[in-house]
Chain A
């Protein structure tokens, strides 16, 4: 099992550009989520999904879109990047309604 994979590892964007952060898991987990990690703030939930076709907003959803067309994939789209979106992004997955979440290696995004 590869677990949770994320691409790219690093990305630099200019303000106003768009991009998609990819996330995939091969554990057949129903629950997937995106967090951002900022210095001194821990991780905060952006969006989550409890299964294919179902997504919902987390604590900090503005400026991000998600979709879940398959169980395996949960891409995060930045529609028009802003410097405030400079962060490290982690995708996570979990089986069932509670329990251990498995995290991907992260994507470090810089918006200039």
Chain B
């Protein structure tokens, strides 16, 4: 069935370090892919998205490329900041139930100064 597997957290990095959060998915067809971010005490915000194979989504220095061959959508950032500390969710839009989002379990990122 539909599922998303994310790298387990928590991930702790120093400021200016390189970030990768792995995400792979199992889905029917080629759904739209998303990364959502949840800052402490807040709801989820869309960070970036990609709607077809080889698309690269980017926002605030974060990037992710839709890899159809490996069914992956890994999140990367070249130089993280303390303000990037949050929980990151990989998700895709299912063709079922009105286009519900299928989420990974979330990866907590903590960036130390």
Contacts and interface: CB of A to CB of B under 8 A. Distances in A.
A19 B42 CA distance: 22
* Binding site secondary structure of chain B: strand
Contacts of A58: 97, 100
B32 interface: yes
Interface residues of B, number: 22
Interface string A35-60: 10000111111001010000010110
Interface in A49-105: 50, 56, 58-59, 90, 92, 94, 97-101, 103-105
Given A40-B105, A42-B89, A43-B103, A103 B97 contact: no
A40 B107 CA distance: 9
Interface stretch (B14-22, B43-51, B61-69): B43-51
Interface of A: 4, 31, 33, 35, 40-45, 48, 50, 56, 58-59, 90, 92, 94, 97-101, 103-106
Interface of B: 4, 32, 34, 36, 42-46, 49, 89, 91, 93, 97-101, 103-106
